[in-house]
Amino acid sequence: MLKKIIFLFSFSMLFVACKKKVEPDPVPADNYVKVTVQPTYLYDGSQNVLLDSLYTTPEGYKVKFTDIKFFVTKLNNGNLNLLEAASLDFRETGNLLFRTIADYTKYPILEGYIGVDSVLNHSDPSAFPNESPLNISNTGPMHWGWNPGYIFLNLEGKVDTIPDGIANLDHSFSFHIGTDLYRRDIYFTNLNWQYVSATERLLALKLDLWKFLHNPISPIDLKTEFLTHTASGQQALTEKVTSNFQQSFMPY
């Protein structure tokens, strides 16, 4: 009888142990996080910007954006690093800035740079990993051949500066910003990482191109302020473009 009791007890303990082993592990905190940047333009009732579509300025100009590209680097929350570098090429990849594996709960704050950190900016562009947006094979025209370093942001388009109701877009604008002097800080707080799935969270950012052009303190008049390649003699417009871009880049 005693042997039978011992056998039954041992069997029951083995059953419990086996049952515990097949219980699924909890879902880990480290999953995919995705960051998007949606260009917007709000003056004439439009919301999301489409390249090559027409928008209206307060001066009555018709304007279209043909290229929107920029780098962000050294994204972190204090001593917690999220990503070394990411780039947006709105024509080629839409509004996706990056997607990586991380614990979103550790990033209620996100800081870094618009542009390229000075150490990275002066590193050999061919020495970065093949998958890095800073690798020369991935940068395309966003790395200057005539000037050391990267083009931090590139905004291009066309505009009709004669408000006659006819969209004759014969006036181009081109803003190419680079060099360490014009790198700008990112500092976003109280971030809302949106639920996408059990394995992915989304942070939605926007680039308010209406605010970029029509900042109340430093508006850009595309009729007279239409070109800077960060060259000598272009400092005033370069500073205005850089500052306005920084103020126009924000969470939704």
- Strand, coil or helix: what is 177? strand
CB atoms within 10 A of CB 76: 16
DSSP 79: T
**With pLDDT > 70 as the criterion, what percentage of the chain qualifies?**
86
**At a CB cut-off of 8 Å and minimum separation 6, what does 12 contact?**
none
**Residue for token pair 């998958």:** 131
pLDDT digits (tens, 9 = 90+) for 169-224: 989 999 999 999 999 999 999 999 999 999 999 999 999 999 999 999 999 999 99
Out of 16-25, 109-118, 132-141, pick the least confident: 16-25
Q: 244 — phi, psi (to 5°)? A: -65, -40
For residues 222 and 60, give the distance between their C-alpha atoms in angstroms, rounded to a whole number.
11
For residues 129 and 54, give the distance between their C-alpha atoms in angstroms, rounded to a whole number.
39
- Number of residues in the chain: 252
Q: What is the pLDDT of residue 72?
A: 98
pLDDT digits (tens, 9 = 90+) for 19-45: 444 444 444 557 999 999 999 998 776
Cβ(20)–Cβ(12) below 8 Å: no
Amino acid, single-letter form, for residue 49: V
Cβ(191)–Cβ(251) below 8 Å: yes
pLDDT(244) > 90:
yes
CB atoms within 10 A of CB 102: 19
Q: How far is CA 155 from the centre of its chain?
A: 14
Cβ(228)–Cβ(239) below 8 Å: no
**At a CB cut-off of 8 Å and minimum separation 6, what does 100 contact?**
32, 33, 82, 83
For residues 129 and 109, give the distance between their C-alpha atoms in angstroms, rounded to a whole number.
27
Cβ(35)–Cβ(86) below 8 Å: yes
Q: What is the mean pLDDT of residues 224-237?
A: 96
Cβ(37)–Cβ(97) below 8 Å: yes
